[in-house]
Chain A
Amino acid sequence: MTGRWRDLALAGAGLVILLLVPLFGAPPAIRDFIMFGMAYGLLAMSLNLLIGYSGLVSFGHAMFFASGAYAFGLAMQSGKFSIPAAFALAIVFTAVLALIVGAICVRLNEIYFAFLTLAFQMLFYNVILGWVSFTGGDQGLMGGIPRPKFLGIDLADRTQLYVFCSVAFIICIAILRQLVTSPFGYTLRLIRDNQERAAFLGVNVPLVKLTCFVISACVAGVGGILLTLFVSGAYPNFGFWTTSGEAIFMILLGGSNVFLGPLVGTVILRLLNDITVTYTSHTELVLGIVILILVLGLRKGPLDLIAERLENRRQAAAQAVRDAADAGAADTRKGGS
């Protein structure tokens, strides 16, 4: 089985596991936890496409999370769109927004890129706050998000909503995986490691970066749509800088060098949040301590650490085989002489 088919099989298996959750009678709280995690997981995974694979540290990624949420919510509240049409519209809107922002930002490097994305995010956030008649301002989209039936699917039913979110989530993860294992993904890593070399090899660096930026934004937008469906509303803080910061925390917590690292980080962060919030109101303090331990102690995400240990072990085993082969060859030569 090739890597591509293996990944698709794994995605299918992941979907089956997710779909088994309601079948085994899991309580609504667990389904809620997973749905919430899927929305934020897509935000973190898509951001890692920029940070981990392309070396583009964006501080403004939550803008696209919010743009997906608001575009979808507003389309549904208008009553003129079906859910699939609003879904598609929200992705197209997010893509166009990312295209405009990305076209300006991707030519800049490091800190300039980071801060310009932050500036665009705050601009978008302030448009949401200021355009009260359209977005509801700081109160968000009020009155709920209508969920008319389509193709016999009723998203007002919590189980069907869970299945819908699971399918959308797995499709996005599969797309991201295909992307990072494709030649395009390797080009991203090449740009991350040595942009000049990539340019000398004929890679159109700004175009590749822009493509990556737009795809990443679209996936974040899907995350925003899922959250909008979950909470039946969209709120300005979806696009606030703290949400971008949260996504960076998720990447830090899980690891940026392993594909599923940000997803693991999302689960850790959400679990930490849900557990600590039950015992104390000092959630941020607990999260801060955990992140300090990870940064100062492990110096990388847990998945990165595990991957590194496995790689070291594999290399040690390979070295042992080579040493044994060398020793055998030396013995043979000695015997032959």
Chain B
Amino acid sequence: MSSIDSRRTGRRQILKGAGALATAGVIGMPAIVKGQSGAIKIGVPTILSGRVAVLGQTSVGGLKVVFDKVNETGGINGRKIELVVRDSKGAPQEAAKVTRDLINNDGCQIIIDAEASSGAFAVQEVIREIGVLCIHSNSETSSLTADPKLHVPTAFRTARQGIHDAIGGGDYAAKIAKAKGLKKWATCSPDYAYGRSNTAEFMEYAKHFDGNIQVVEESWPKLFQPDYTEVVTKVLNAKADAMYSALWGGDLVAFIDQANLYGLFDKQASFMVNLGDYGVVDQVKQFPQGVYSGGRYNRTVPPTKENEEWYQNYVKTQKHKPTNWSWENDVAAQMVVEALKKTNGDTNGKKLAEVIKGMTIKTQFGVGGSVTMRAEDNTLVNYIIGYGVSLSKEPYIADFQTSPWEPIYELEKQWKKKQGYAS
């Protein structure tokens, strides 16, 4: 089993160090010696408390599934992998400090950053300075890896990327819009950078694929807003043909529960990128039927034996259902393991980065059974993107259509030029 260092002896080292400093004149040297166990230590800054604690819980679950298996079969050249998980409470400055502590104090040689986006940018700066291998496993903000100014040679991303989802989703939405004559659209997304940029990009590409689409109403509920009555009423009053929403987590659950009271989902077509994830499915009182849902994680997507086995194993070992974050972290862990095998257990950041760049691994989460870490911008490509239609009971998603990657690559290039990320 991969052990999660719950004893966190490193903190004791801080206290010992503080004591040593107090008596430094007598002792002469601080009594701090980093543990030299044979284990390969991997630090995981994440969010384990508060409203999005499920992010940390299911991210760690995804990592453990892989590392446990590696440890059970002898580890990497006989060395076990040890996870050291720390809660940043969602504060970027804490994420930065926790990451520094994981490396400097706990002796972690690799970082898997399971933070949300703002924390990920803070972690990126620590990695820029220290230079260990880092894999951002949850941040979907495109600029993290797309913007060359933010590039860090030893930092990679296995999380899905906002621009990829927007292009794939826009293509799917346009096809439905053309077929059903959905011209007037309303949007309802959280009022912060992710919500605004995600919605803008989705609608941009929906319009790109179907020039008849126009946005007639925009609603921007505040993050963690408890009451959505006003927003639901606003969307209904717009009498739009369709609605797009980038609400997520607890906000999405609250919105659906309240929108159901008004029959919102019966009165128009709805597209929700974050709907079909078990974190939402299990929380909503009455899961809506017939909503177009983005692919996050579902045991039937892809409908393969490997995916079902992975799901069953995850639930059995972790005692909860996996989420989108689980597969992203599963891929992060697999890439780290493959890289360590290739370097014979050498944890040097540069060496690991060299082998991860351009690496392709086999996984059921990839189109055709594989995903690739694109060398050009250190980000994951060829993972499964797509939309399906929601069902009110298992498997909750039907008619899932996987987006082809070729148009995504092409439009992503144009998007990068537009953003000034590429010439």
Contacts and interface: CB of A to CB of B under 8 A. Distances in A.
Partners in one complex: yes
Interface of A: 20-21, 24-30, 32-33, 36, 129, 132, 136-140, 142-144, 156, 158, 227, 230-233, 235, 237-238, 274-275, 277-279, 281-284
B130 to A, nearest CB: 9
B11 A275 contact: yes
A30 B18 contact: yes
B97 interface: yes
Contacts of A32: 97, 100-101, 104
B93 A238 contact: yes
Given A129-B192, A235-B92, A279-B6, A138 B118 contact: yes
A142 B387 CA distance: 31
Nearest to B47: A281
B213 to A, nearest CB: 24
11 contacts: A29-B100, A29-B101, A30-B14, A132-B193, A132-B196, A136-B193, A274-B14, A277-B98, A279-B6, A281-B53, A284-B49
B121 A28 contact: no
Given A232-B125, A233-B96, 19 more contacts: A20-B24, A25-B30, A29-B10, A29-B104, A30-B17, A32-B100, A139-B117, A139-B118, A142-B150, A143-B147, A232-B96, A232-B129, A274-B101, A275-B11, A278-B11, A279-B8, A281-B48, A281-B56, A283-B87
Contacts of A140: 92, 118, 121-122
Provide the main secondary structure of the chain A interface. Answer: helix
Interface string B100-129: 110011000000000001100110011011
B374 to A, nearest CB: 21
A27 B105 contact: yes
Interface in B132-172: 141, 143, 147, 149-150
Interface of B: 6, 8, 10-11, 13-15, 17-18, 21, 24, 28-30, 32, 48-49, 53, 56, 86-87, 89, 91-93, 96-98, 100-101, 104-105, 117-118, 121-122, 125-126, 128-129, 141, 143, 147, 149-150, 192-194, 196
A275 B16 CA distance: 13
A237 B92 contact: yes
B91 to A, nearest CB: 6
Contacts of A137: 192-193
Contacts of A156: 129
Contact of A139 (B91, B141, B149): B141
A244 to B, nearest CB: 14
Given A227-B93, A278-B10, A24 B121 contact: no
A134 to B, nearest CB: 13
A236 to B, nearest CB: 8
A116 to B, nearest CB: 22
A24 B6 CA distance: 30
Nearest to A39: B93
Nearest to B223: A138
B96 A231 contact: yes
A283 B121 contact: no
Contacts of B17: 26-27, 29-30
Contacts of B126: 232
A24 B193 contact: no
A21 B21 contact: yes
Given A32-B104, A281-B49, A138 B193 contact: yes
A284 B87 CA distance: 12
Contacts of B29: 24-25
A180 B105 CA distance: 38
A43 B215 CA distance: 45
A165 to B, nearest CB: 14
B101 A139 contact: no
A235 B122 contact: yes
Given A139-B121, A283-B49, A283-B87, A29 B30 contact: no
Contacts of A30: 14, 17-18, 21, 30
Nearest to A236: B118
B151 to A, nearest CB: 10
B287 to A, nearest CB: 29
A256 B149 CA distance: 45
